[in-house]
Chain A
Amino acid sequence: MGEGITEVDRLEALVDEGVGDVARYLALIRKLKLRRSSKVAKHGMELLRNSSARAKLGADVWTVYEQVAIAALDCQCLTAAKECIGALLKKFPDSTRVGRLEGMWFEARGSWQQAEKVYASILEERPTDARILKRKIAMAKAQGNLMGAVDEMNKYLELFMADHECWKELADVYLSLQMYKQAAFCYEELILVQPANALFHLGYAEILYTIGGLENLKTAKKYYASAIELSGGKNMRALYGVCLCAAGINQAKGRNIKDEKENSTVHTLAADVIKREYRLKAPKKASLAACILEA
């Protein structure tokens, strides 16, 4: 992912200067699912309004229209978005995929009831259309109805229980509501769906640490440790996390001596890696990092 971002940044700089390949830039943004709406809207609209550039896109032009429409909505450029949606409607008059964009146009204006109508009519024919169900979740969230969004997500997950994006979104909303136990449950599902994903082990550990208590700290330490392993020993949050857990466990009551010994090995190894990384990459901060680890 890191190299992808560097490539996108490089292309973006060229495109900003007027010498880059806009089509390639837009394609890479789509592939990496980045949200850089003002650049996409600006350069995308320029490309689409240029008939020879448009022709060079071939069949991709419709995907680009969709991408630029959404970026324009994100920047509140409703006229530009309308232009793109209009072109798509002409080509695909009965498409529910374009219908979704019409609904999103209403959402961007804050015309929630009209958006609801658009989505309701699509759902009548296709009650399990995942994209439209996701719009209903997004609308609830956008209107600040977080518990409503939670409800919609739980209903969605009954239909699509392996959708890890939705489990992650649900966890995020629970966390913003400080409903940590419910967020932890979501991360348990995420780990089931993708057991080798270091970020899910990391997220679970962070939630358990936040809930607190000796048992949770012990479990958090295990998940921080597996996150370290799964990320090739490189994840700084996981390395720090193991040390924070060890410090917390040592302070808590009710531990036994055997645990204490196990504790120190993981903790010391992680502390050594942190100190080495700081010496190499952020020497000015090395003393700050070390003061935490001594505790």
Chain B
Amino acid sequence: MKYQISQTAYVKLALHALKHRSAAVNGILVGRVSGGGGGGGAEEDSASTVSIVDCVPLFHGQLGLLPMLELALTQIEEYFSSHQEGLSIVGCYHANERFDDYDLSGIPRKIGDHIARYFSSACVLLLDNRLLESLAKAGKKPAFSQLFTRDSSRGWRSAPGSSDLVLAESTANEILYDYILEGREQSVTDFDDHLDDISKDWLNPGLFD
């Protein structure tokens, strides 16, 4: 199974992490499966690609509580299945609180497990700050995430090479770099922000204008 991430999803999740530098953040990945046998049940079909089309930033700071997570997952699934054809939840992303922490901890694993119950090829993206620092040189590869997928024993393992996750648009890193210089991360709204003020939209409609 190959994984591809759109510029929209990639830049949005990076900006979310950059907005909250001293906290852990997470979010949901939304997309579809294409090629190969098709359908969400395709497991080890190497001809298929999971396309991560968009993402929804969820929380910053406290990520381990259930009620608002359940609420968010329901609303996100409802929105994307009724407004955007063929899109559903395909995984989640997570950024640890500390700069040098590269472990996939219990919380993203649990969220990943939950998503995997509905979509067997679910993935978890773990942001890696070392790679973010070398953003300017990254070029075509996604700069700063480690891809985790489920192995046969139902655990999460890191995908072997960087070829398993590709950027759909080669301009993604340049765009992200420009946005960082502008300070655009301040405009990202996550589900936490929405709950604090419901007039803020977790779909982030104006973010890329």
User: A residues touching B (Cβ–Cβ < 8 Å)?
Assistant: 35, 74, 142, 144, 172, 175-178, 205-207, 209-210, 212, 236-237, 240-241, 244, 277-278, 281-282, 284-285, 288-289, 291-292
Q: Could you say which of A175, A176, A205, A278 has the most chain B C-beta atoms within 10 Å of its C-beta?
A: A176
Chain A residues in 8 Å Cβ range of B100: 144
A210 to B61, CA, bound (A): 17
A-B pairs, top 9 by smallest CB distance, nearest first, are A210-B66, A175-B64, A206-B65, A281-B199, A282-B198, A288-B75, A209-B67, A178-B106, A236-B195
Looking at chain A's contact residues, the main secondary structure is helix
A241 to B75, CA, bound (A): 15
Chain B residues in 8 Å Cβ range of A207: 65
B98 touches A142 (CB 8 A): yes
Q: How many residues of B contact A (CB 8 A)?
A: 30
A289 to B78, CA, bound (A): 10
B98 touches A144 (CB 8 A): yes
Please give 14 more A-B residue pairs, beta carbons under 8 A apart, in addition to A236-B196, A281-B197, A292-B75: A74-B22, A142-B98, A175-B64, A176-B24, A176-B97, A178-B106, A206-B65, A212-B66, A237-B68, A240-B67, A241-B67, A244-B67, A288-B79, A292-B74
What are 16 inter-chain pairs, A to B, with CB distance below 8 A? A74-B22, A144-B100, A172-B62, A176-B97, A178-B64, A205-B67, A206-B68, A236-B198, A237-B67, A237-B68, A237-B195, A241-B67, A244-B71, A277-B198, A285-B198, A288-B75
* Chain B nearest CB, measured from A73 CB (Å): 12
Q: Which residue of B lies closest to A278 (CB)?
A: B198
Asked if B101 CB lies within 8 Å of chain A CBs, one says yes
User: B residues touching A (Cβ–Cβ < 8 Å)?
Assistant: 22, 24, 61-68, 70-71, 74-75, 78-79, 97-98, 100-101, 105-107, 110, 195-199, 201
Chain A residues in 8 Å Cβ range of B97: 176
A289 to B201, CA, bound (A): 13
A207 to B66, CA, bound (A): 8
A209 touches B62 (CB 8 A): no
Q: Which residue of A lies closest to B68 (CB)?
A: A237
Q: Which residue of A lies closest to B98 (CB)?
A: A144
* Chain B nearest CB, measured from A204 CB (Å): 11
Chain B residues in 8 Å Cβ range of A35: 22
Q: Which residue of B lies closest to A176 (CB)?
A: B64
* Chain B nearest CB, measured from A76 CB (Å): 10
* Chain A nearest CB, measured from B116 CB (Å): 18
* Chain B nearest CB, measured from A61 CB (Å): 27
A201 to B67, CA, bound (A): 14
Q: Which residue of A lies closest to B76 (CB)?
A: A288
A237 to B197, CA, bound (A): 11
Chain B residues in 8 Å Cβ range of A282: 198-199, 201
Q: Could you say which of B22, B63, B70, B198 has the most chain A C-beta atoms within 10 Å of its C-beta?
A: B198
Q: Which residue of B lies closest to A171 (CB)?
A: B62
Chain B residues in 8 Å Cβ range of A209: 65-67
* Given known contacts A178-B106, A209-B66, A292 and B71 CB-to-CB distance under 8 angstroms: yes
A175 touches B62 (CB 8 A): yes
Chain B residues in 8 Å Cβ range of A175: 62, 64-65
Chain B residues in 8 Å Cβ range of A206: 65-68
A2 to B111, CA, bound (A): 32
A86 to B143, CA, bound (A): 39
A210 touches B67 (CB 8 A): yes
Chain B residues in 8 Å Cβ range of A176: 24, 63-64, 97, 105, 107
Chain B residues in 8 Å Cβ range of A284: 201
* Chain B nearest CB, measured from A283 CB (Å): 10
* Given known contacts A236-B195, A281-B199, A288 and B78 CB-to-CB distance under 8 angstroms: yes
A210 touches B62 (CB 8 A): no
Contact of A291 among B22, B78, B197 (CB under 8 A): B78
* Chain B nearest CB, measured from A16 CB (Å): 10
Chain B residues in 8 Å Cβ range of A74: 22
